[in-house]
Amino acid sequence: MVSAVTEGVRVSVKTEYQSDYSSPLQAHFVFTYRITIENASEYTIQLLRRHWIIYDSNGTVREVEGEGVVGLQPVLEPGEVHQYVSGCNLRSSMGKMAGTYLVERIIDGKQVRVAIPEFTMIVPYKLN
């Protein structure tokens, strides 16, 4: 698991290879990632947008940007945690992702880009 903290907002990521949904012979590798967002700041925040950069070891780079996460724009009071699971398809057995969330402090509307730490997606047999 990797973590990063930006202005009191901690983002942690854990990945898992999904062999049942992958087809290595067709260059189709599926990974899931569990994101934990913890509001350790003193302000109530709302997650508005996400921005991802996805690197595949075959040299492909993709960008994904949009509102919220998995259809939600969660509001987190100080001390609250939001978790979700999402996925990524790669054309090779290794890759990595990183990005940012745009969050807004409810009290004054200040917007902050919160770092999503870079994390790797590697098929387990590559680690042996």
State the Cα–Cα distance between residues 116 and 69, nearest whole angstrom.
13
Give the pLDDT confidence of 24-56 residue by residue, as tens digits. 999 999 999 999 999 999 999 999 999 999 999
State the Cα–Cα distance between residues 102 and 67, nearest whole angstrom.
9
- State the amino acid at position 77 in one-letter form: E
Give the pLDDT confidence of 76-116 residue by residue, as tens digits. 999 999 999 999 999 999 999 999 999 999 999 999 999 99
At 51, is the secondary structure helix, strand, or coil?
strand
Structure tokens at 127: 């680690």
| Superfamily of 2-123 according to CATH | ApaG domain (2.60.40.1470)
pLDDT given at position 56: 97
- Which letter does DSSP use for residue 41 in this model? S
pLDDT above 90: residue 127? no
Q: Which of 14, 72, 13 is nearest to 48 (CA)?
A: 72
| pTM attached to this predicted model | 0.94
pLDDT given at position 86: 97
At 126, is the secondary structure helix, strand, or coil?
helix
pLDDT given at position 125: 79
pLDDT given at position 64: 96
